[in-house]
Amino acid sequence: MKYRSAFTMLELIFVIVIMGIIGKFGTEFLAQASKSFIFSNINNQLQSDSASTVEFISARLRDRIKDSVIARTGAGAPPIALFNAVGNTYSVLEWISSDIDGFRGNSDNVATDNFPNWSGVIDLVPGNAAGLVSPGTDTAKVSSLINTLSYGDKTIADAALYFIGSNSNINGYGWSGAITDQNQTLHPIDFGANSDEFSPGITFAGVDIYEYYKLVWTAYALVYTAGTNGKGTLTLYYDYQPWNGDNFLTDGTASVLMENVSAFQFMSIGSIMKVQVCVKSDLITTEEYSICKEKTIF
What does the alpha-carbon distance between residue 277 and residue 263 come to, in Å, rounded to a whole number? 6
Largest CA-CA distance found in the chain, in angstroms, rounded: 125
Asked if 142 contacts 206 with a C-beta cutoff of 8 angstroms, the reply is no
User: Where in the chain does DSSP place strands (E)?
Assistant: 70-72, 80-81, 92-98, 123-128, 131-133, 160-163, 186-191, 197-200, 213-225, 232-238, 253-269, 272-280, 290-297
Residues in the chain: 298
**Residue 278 DSSP SS3:** strand
Burial class (CB in 10 A: 0-12, 13-18, 19+), 19: exposed
Asked if 148 contacts 216 with a C-beta cutoff of 8 angstroms, the reply is no
What does the alpha-carbon distance between residue 285 and residue 290 come to, in Å, rounded to a whole number? 12
The amino acid at 269: I
- What does the pLDDT look like over 24-47, one tens digit per residue? 666 676 667 666 766 777 778 888
Kindly give the confidence (pLDDT) of every residue in the chain, 298 residues in length, as a single tens digit, with 9 standing for 90 and above: 555 566 677 666 776 777 777 666 666 766 676 667 667 777 788 888 889 999 999 999 999 999 999 999 999 899 999 989 988 899 999 999 999 999 988 655 555 567 899 999 999 886 677 789 999 999 999 999 999 999 999 999 999 999 998 877 888 999 999 988 777 899 999 999 899 999 987 778 888 889 999 999 999 999 999 988 788 999 999 999 999 999 999 999 999 999 999 999 999 988 899 999 999 887 666 666 788 999 999 9
List all residues 6 or more positions away from 167 whose beta carbon is below 8 Å from its beta carbon.
184, 185
